[in-house]
């Protein structure tokens, strides 16, 4: 499906959604490679994924948003959930309202169907956080959250969840235990090795299945790979 420039601007004004703005770019191809690796990582199939980082500013929200897009582009009915109830950003990336969302569902103010929004990207729906609650960890660790994930899996092929950084709060650990897999995003040149190791240990101690890490913002030299993909129109 092709979109004109005006339609693309409705989704993101910051060009962080490269897989939507330029689906044939080298970076977009890397996201597709990650998608393929996820699909082959388990014989049982991966349908729910937590994406997190050790610290803020390492690119987890951009990563999970682009992964959701490439799964949707593959024809999978995808739900992107913003579970970072402390500093939500997904609604900004897709230019969506955030008046109601996950918080409303977990507090039983609204049903799931009433809260997720259709994006302009085919097959991709987004569940924003909704109002910031005073007790995010308690809500995410509740039986209701299990019910919400179960209901979402009945309606969608893939669920991707953005969570707060692991070392800051326990939210990512709580959800890692409830999903098929977890991806840890690290930022090239900035993420501390000890911090990444500690994040990994915390996720594994919570019985989360760590699928792997995504190295973000790694500078590479131009190569034949770049010219093969980058010069296509």
Residue 11 has a pLDDT of: 57
- Tens digits of residue pLDDT in 41-72: 776 689 999 999 999 999 999 999 999 999 99
pLDDT at 9: 53
| Fold of the domain built from segment(s) 5-230 | Rossmann fold (3.40.50)
The strands making up 117-118's β-sheet, listed across from edge to edge, are 117-118, 124-127, 78-82, 158-162, 48-53, 181-187, 210-216
- For the chain, what are the domain ranges? 5-230
Mean pLDDT of 10-23: 76
pLDDT for position 221? 60
pLDDT digits (tens, 9 = 90+) for 109-162: 999 999 999 999 999 999 999 999 999 999 999 999 999 999 999 999 999 999
Comparing CA positions, the residue from 72, 90, 74, 93 lying closest to residue 82 is 90
Query: Of 13, 27, 77, which Cα lies nearest the Cα of 226?
Result: 27
pTM, two decimals, is: 0.89
Residue 217: predicted pLDDT: 81
Question: Which is more confident, 9 or 42?
Answer: 42
> Do 191 and 58 meet the contact criterion of CB atoms below 8 Å apart?
yes
């Amino acid at each position: 499906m092709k979109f004109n420039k005006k339609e693309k601007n409705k989704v993101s004004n910051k060009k962080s959604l490269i897989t939507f703005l330029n689906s044939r770019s080298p970076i977009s191809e890397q996201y597709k490679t990650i998608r393929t690796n996820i699909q082959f990582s388990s014989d049982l199939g991966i349908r729910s994924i937590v994406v997190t980082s050790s610290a803020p500013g390492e690119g987890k929200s951009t990563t999970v948003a682009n992964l959701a897009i490439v799964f949707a582009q593959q024809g999978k009915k995808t739900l992107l959930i913003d579970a970072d109830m402390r500093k939500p950003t997904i609604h900004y990336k897709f230019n969506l309202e955030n008046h109601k969302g996950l918080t409303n569902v977990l507090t039983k103010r609204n049903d799931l169907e009433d809260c997720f929004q259709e994006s302009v990207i085919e097959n991709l729906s987004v569940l924003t956080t909704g109002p910031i609650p005073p007790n995010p960890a308690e809500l995410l660790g509740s039986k209701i959250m299990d019910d919400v994930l179960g209901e979402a899996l009945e309606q969608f092929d893939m669920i991707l969840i953005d969570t707060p950084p692991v070392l800051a709060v326990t939210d990512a650990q709580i959800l890692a235990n409830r999903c098929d897999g977890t991806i840890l995003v690290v930022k090239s040149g900035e993420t501390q090795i000890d911090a990444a190791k500690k994040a990994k240990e915390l996720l594994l101690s919570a019985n989360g299945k760590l699928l792997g890490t995504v190295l973000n913002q790694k500078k590479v030299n131009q190569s034949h790979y770049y010219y093969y993909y980058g010069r296509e129109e």
